[in-house]
Structure 1
Amino acid sequence: MSKPHLLLLLWLIWCCNVVVFFLQADATFVSNDTTGISFEMFHMHSPELKTQEISLGTPKCRLDRFMQLLENDNARRTMLSSHRLGQRRMMIQSPTAEIPLRSGASVGHGVFYVSFRIGSPHPQKFVLVADTASDLTWMNCKLLCKGCPEFNFSSGRVFQAKDSPSFQTIPCGGKTCQEDLVQSFALPDCPTPDTPCLYNYSYYGDRSASGVFANETVTVGLHGHHKIVLYHVLFGCTESSRLPPPFPDGVMGLGFSSISFAMRLADMFGNKFSYCLVDHLSPSNLNNYLSFGEPQHSKPQKMQYTELILHNSDVFYWVNVSGISVGDKMLNIPPETWNITNGGGAIIDSGTTLTLLAEAAYAAVMDAFIGTLTKFKKVEMPVTEFCFEATGFQESSVPNFVIHFADGAKLEPLVKSYIIDAADGIKCLGFQPPQKGDISIIGNIMQQGHYWEFDIGRSKLGFGPSSCILTNPKD
């Protein structure tokens, strides 16, 4: 390249405020100020979504909202319980990055949302579910091609593949489709080697997303108000979805997997990502965030770390729970409840609302709490097993609920994370009863008011109390 042309290129990059990441082969360029990427997170019931040209059906009252969350949790739990274990995968550490988020409520298979820009030369913007229990990033997508699924969407924005010259489908006859994507619901249909690689990504029951695997350009913002352009990012061009309304534009897969968008960014920025969830009932102007690398804000001073158990046979983030205490008393829960290798264990999940406890743990926890709430009038509601009239209720009278991890770390959630406001004047114990074969799931309401760091390189989960307010959020 001649010197004038080089100077022109450098000037264009500077003027456009874009830091380009060349991710093909071994060519990578990272700016010195790329300390983090921050995605803004927001709730399904947040007014933010009204400005996103998408209608997700705001519930008429708090009880309607709560029922909607429970319905989504119940649909999701079957899929989560069906996964089993495998071997741990190791990853290599590298630099850091971050992205902002806002608080929200569950829809379909997720609770919190992020803005996502994909395509070129003019990136198209979408609202995606941030889901730590799935790995495929996909959005509603229109691609008219032979052998592709029929286009079928009733709501949400749609990625127009024809408007992006960087869009490339993955051929079904290649190694990527035949070997690498087999575990990600790639279909065997391959009438010709160049036919797009099809998928039917199952979430639970008959609820799934169908489309073609493709590579595309993704644009994300950095802390220093620059942007990075990621090339050849694997995503799902979904042309047909059986996921129930209300539903956003798609899903950002944050699970532990070689095709996960989270692993792609984590590998570039310190091999870690984090998020912080404000109270799901807090005002919509309070921001959540999803960060890659070092966060834009300060970490909590009282951080604790526990082992993050990673397996290449599923996408979940498993934690090694040793027990639960209510008040100062350790509950009598059989150790096999937490034994991951024998079908038990617990995961931490951003897409499940209430905390789900396996049978023995659920029974012990409910017994411990109900005994302390007998003075309140019980209310029969189709929400959780125990609800009561909240007149005279004070959080200070409720015994502390603590999840103990095998290496000594302890999660002490806020009282409002397990005594839930279900309706006006009504509170409920925020635990879901189990079904046969259920694993335990630490849901996002139990996680609220805390900062969570998924350190993939060290196989550590860090957490600590936080207000979760992000300064100067950028999406």
Structure 2
Amino acid sequence: MANNILHLLFFFTLIFSCCLKKTLVYGAVEAAYHVLDMKSLVPASTCSVSTKGFHGMQIVHRYGPCSPLGRENSPPDSRQILIKDQARVRSMNSLTSNSKYAIHGEGIVTADSFPPQALTLFGRDIGAGNYVVKAGFGTPKRDFNLIFDTGSDLTWLRCGSNGYQPSESSTSINAKCNSGPTCPFNVNYGDNSSASGYFIRDYLTLKLSDMYSDVFSNFYFGCGLQISPGFGSADGLLGVGQSGNLSIISQTNQMYAKVFCYCLPGSHSSAGFLLFGIEAQRTCKTKTTTPLSRNPNSPAYYYVNLIGITIGDQRLDISSKAIMDSGTVITRLPSPVYSALRSEFMKFMSKYPRAKQQQDQLLDTCYDLEGYGNVTLPNMVLQFPKLQVNLDPSAVIWKERESDSQVCLAFARNDDVPDKLTIIGNHQQRTLKLLYDIGNNKVGFGIGGCAN
């Protein structure tokens, strides 16, 4: 009898310990925090990227030491970046449609020009947080430094003496239009910046590795003649949005089957990559994916269903369609969700001194870590259907200035739109391998950095 009781006690102990272990794993208690060296948040002054053996098109931060734009004089401070970031979010909140251009047969037919409240994409006034890629155009090929943007479906270049010159390319052809011998384009952005010109058809060259490139002989893009000053020294824009047959996704569909992958670097002094097709699948292959959708009111954007955020050992349930956007810096959450996240973050950070709140500051939960060599941060996981994504520790916080020790929770509330739009920004995407399979309406998230 005593032996039977002991056996029963042993059995129930096993059940209890097993269930407890499952609870700990689900709640992420065993990995509820990270210890981050404060020195790792200070950007390096030199580029640490080696191009040898690198696959794909390199993505670098526009104002980092790896930038081909020469850092455009001096980069804006973090407060300026966040002000510009908020302007982009406002324009996204008011966006109704992106492109009204389409390819028909042998030419391009335009409907109306872009709407006046289109995307605020880049420039010293808005896009300090954006990323740059290099692509080749024309014959002989010339490389141009383009802003990488998943929220736009039109690629355009600066034309003229300091940019792309159709007369110097033996394969350049003016795109036909039903309204005349040339086909004009006009893009207006939310900060009143603009670009206009006409459409060109020419060769596009995308780098796969040191040895190989893919060439597309009939690629349509805008030749920009009137460019407002706010665009800085970037040569144009590489639109990687999913709508319209003028997007790079549609124009390369026969070779790449609407599949691409990118990884944004974890620091300003390193590089990420952009890949298409089979190479994208091979490099960014993930075991699990989550559904990808689109909104007819903003068809270029990539939407996913964000169902929760785990911070430390606490899961916050959400039901929100979220835009994956490479051009927004800080992730925006509906106000109730942000308030809950902020509350949990403050509990976790209670041992650190709070920083003084500045008026009209976007990030409202900041700490003064003067004298702290390391900081213990909560682990953060984004929850999607069938998929959990661990954020890089540096993606949880935002360092206010290079010269001081103030850090803030790198999330913000989005109060500018009635339908509680959620935007997953590029600061939270850093070091993730994002694999988009548009034809099958799914996206995968790979962790572990941008080494490929």
Q: 2:194 is matched by which residue type in structure 1?
A: S
Deviations 1:84-116 (A, max 9, x none): 699xxxxxxxxxxxxxxxxxx986446111111
Using the TM superposition, give the Cα deviation of residue 373 of structure 1 relative to its aligned residue in structure 2, in angstroms.
Answer: 2.5
The whole-number CA distance in structure 1 between the counterparts of 2:391 and 2:240 is: 23
Q: Where does 1:225-244 land on structure 2 (aligned, <5 Å)?
A: 225-242=211-228, 244=230
- 2:153 matched to which residue of 1? 135
Using the TM superposition, give the Cα deviation of residue 222 of structure 1 relative to its aligned residue in structure 2, in angstroms.
Answer: 3.6
The whole-number CA distance in structure 2 between the counterparts of 1:263 and 1:243 is: 30
Deviant stretches of 4+, over 6 Å: none
Asked if 1:466 corresponds to 2:448, the answer is yes
Asked if 1:75 corresponds to 2:87, the answer is yes
- 2:423 matched to which residue of 1? 441
Using the TM superposition, give the Cα deviation of residue 270 of structure 1 relative to its aligned residue in structure 2, in angstroms.
Answer: 4.0
Q: 1:293 is matched by which residue type in structure 2?
A: G
Asked if 1:403 corresponds to 2:382, the answer is yes
- 1:453 matched to which residue of 2? 435
- 2:30 matched to which residue of 1? none
Q: Where does 1:19-418 land on structure 2 (aligned, <5 Å)?
A: 38-49=56-67, 56-59=72-75, 64-83=76-95, 108-109=126-127, 111-120=130-139, 122-142=140-160, 157-173=162-178, 190=179, 193-194=180-181, 196-223=182-209, 225-242=211-228, 244-257=230-243, 258-281=245-268, 284=269, 286-295=270-279, 299=283, 303-311=287-295, 313=297, 314-331=299-316, 333=318, 335=319, 338=320, 345-375=321-351, 376-381=353-358, 382=361, 384-391=363-370, 397-405=376-384, 407-418=385-396
CA RMSD of aligned residues (A): 3.0
- 1:422 matched to which residue of 2? 400
Using the TM superposition, give the Cα deviation of residue 441 of structure 1 relative to its aligned residue in structure 2, in angstroms.
Answer: 0.9
Contact 1:266 1:273 in 2 (8 A): no
Contact 2:67 2:132 in 1 (8 A): no
When residues 272 and 259 of structure 1 are mapped into structure 2, their CA distance, relative to the original with a 3 A threshold, is same
Using the TM superposition, give the Cα deviation of residue 383 of structure 1 relative to its aligned residue in structure 2, in angstroms.
Answer: 5.4
Q: Any gaps of 5 or more consecutive residues in structure 2? A: 1-53, 99-121
- 1:100 matched to which residue of 2? none
Percent same amino acid among aligned pairs? 28
Deviations 1:426-475 (A, max 9, x none): 111111332321621111110112111001122111012122124xxxxx
Using the TM superposition, give the Cα deviation of residue 204 of structure 1 relative to its aligned residue in structure 2, in angstroms.
Answer: 1.7
The whole-number CA distance in structure 2 between the counterparts of 1:224 and 1:127 is: 18
The whole-number CA distance in structure 2 between the counterparts of 1:106 and 1:85 is: 21
Deviations 1:148-174 (A, max 9, x none): xxxxxxxxx41112222322223442x
Using the TM superposition, give the Cα deviation of residue 236 of structure 1 relative to its aligned residue in structure 2, in angstroms.
Answer: 0.8
Contact 1:273 1:292 in 2 (8 A): yes
TM-score, normalised via structure 2 length: 0.73
Deviations 1:283-328 (A, max 9, x none): x3x3311001233796468643111113555100000111223223
Q: How many residues align?
A: 365
The whole-number CA distance in structure 1 between the counterparts of 2:97 and 2:195 is: 24
Using the TM superposition, give the Cα deviation of residue 417 of structure 1 relative to its aligned residue in structure 2, in angstroms.
Answer: 0.2
Contact 1:302 1:465 in 2 (8 A): no
Deviations 1:378-411 (A, max 9, x none): 2334452122111465877433222211x23112
When residues 244 and 271 of structure 1 are mapped into structure 2, their CA distance, relative to the original with a 3 A threshold, is same
Q: 2:130 is matched by which residue type in structure 1?
A: V
Instruction: Give the secondary structure class of the aligned counterpart of 1:316.
Output: strand
TM-score, normalised via structure 1 length: 0.69
